[in-house]
Structure 1
Amino acid sequence: MLTRRHFIAATGAAFALPAPRLWAASTLDLGGARIDTLSDGFLTLPADFILGGMPEAEVQEITARYGVAGDQLTPPCNVTLWRDGTNTVLFDLGSGPDFQPTAGKLAEAMEALGLTVEDVTHVVFTHGHPDHLWGLLDEFDDPVFPNAEHSIGGAEFDYWTDPETVDTIGAARTTFAVGAARRLGAVADNLRRLSDGEEVLPGLFARLTPGHTPGHMSFDLTGGSVPVTVIGDAIGNHHVGFERPDWASGSDQDKDLAASTRVALLDRMAADEVVLIGYHLPDGGIGRAERAGAGYRFIPEV
């Protein structure tokens, strides 16, 4: 059950675009364990980055029903915190200060919960994009979370640390590759590489969900009162990503593979009544997938 939401106001005057209202945390009580999704702020993206190449008339019909309009999108960034009484685990670390001025707010959300960086025992990355990984290091290139074990999918680590990636990823993502290689290289000696199906901690399992990036991972939490899957960017929005998961999205590196991953993930989560947590989904990102016609809809767990 979603037990509470604590809101903080966005400082919209600092930005040229209107800022959506930010929240500090949404909380899910799992009976003996607790999940909070913490706001790292939001991104400002060209709409074509996600919607480009999709059937224009159908896209407009879908996005209009969700109040999405114009040539820019402002998706929220939801960092997941799981506490089971022994472990304090963060899934992704947000952008840090070097990506976009509207993001990198994780420290403020942690402060609202009275949580310090020393409290975190584990950091688990879904993938290596800037809004998930660039909060890893401080200004001295030391890990922001000094006591935590850090983990990432083995295939994801190999991709971002491959010297050829920067030359093959495409000009629009060159900085993604440079930034990921530097950060992962700084912690490589103490970084756990995960494989598909591996048990990260008791009741926490890695699930390979590739396409958005080559080694993107989701994470299944199985020990609570309901099954939960942290999906990262395997489903990147609450409109076309659910209604037409089979459509190729410009935000994915392997568009066809990402689409097949979305379809399979939604089929499983709807059938098994899994609570999902999406990094860029609204209302704190916690909800369920419900069948709706030929596709699905996102139902926030409020």
Structure 2
Amino acid sequence: MTSLQAPSAVVMIRPHHFRSNPETKDDNAFQTQENTSAETTSAQALAEFDGAVETLRGAGVTVHVFDDTTINTPDSVFPNNWFSTHAGGHVAVYPMFADNRRKERRWDVIELLKRDYRVQDVIDYSGLEQDGLSLEGTGAMVLDHIGRIAYTVKSNRADPILLERFCTHFNFEPMVFEAKDEAGRDVYHTNVLMGIGTEYALICLDMIVDPARRSEVAARLEETGRSVIDLTQDQIANFAGNALELTGKKRILALSAKALDALRPDQIAEIERSAEPLPLTIPTIETAGGSVRCMLAGIHLSPRERISA
């Protein structure tokens, strides 16, 4: 049941001052305006976060929670953008596009990984922010850990030079494509467009601009033995692509309640052939333009054996 694609542990950041980030709204079409006070929005997000953690832990997933009490990191609930972990003991730390998102990096998270898991090296790309480069982790890239492919939408959040460097360091093949929504707006992060499980892939092929590239992406996903669950743009708008497969008591697909409601019965049935959908109710958090996958930084590292006294 264990899978290279579906980690059994995650890092989550508990937000005490959540709000939709004003520095990212210009290129994140998924952001919406809250109609409540800042205090109410923050309290609602905190309650949604705690409910999500409880649900994940109840399903057997190990969740490492870190509190963020600062007021200048509105997107801190989405840690998958600033670091990623990889089998063999490798960790990457990424440069971020928005100034206030750069404040989300915290080395106590990396220290926990070193303490509880086998970490061989940490490759820190964040200094490249000074050169105007960004590569926003597993938001910018959707990684096929089995087929070793980094699916990446062209955007200001995914510098092509840095993508090549990451792929060289971490042994992935970059597969880059242009994607737009129905209004012609660029997709800002690949992980709102697609998610890859062990035996299936969720993706809106219609949003890939070039028909030839669209066919190539679908073919690559099928080559790895996965069924391709083709999502509609409306389903993407409801975050149906922003999901992460995890290993708990059984293999699960963590996604938002809104995302699950948007899926058709036949699509759910295809997922259920290998994973059980696990809906998390996070409507306030989704106003920031990200959903469940963005909240989960998967840990693809081997746990350290505890030596008993």
**Which structure has the highest helix share of the two?**
2
**Which structure has the highest strand share of the two?**
1
TM range (shorter): 0.3 to 0.5
TM-score (norm 2): 0.37
TM-score (norm 1): 0.37
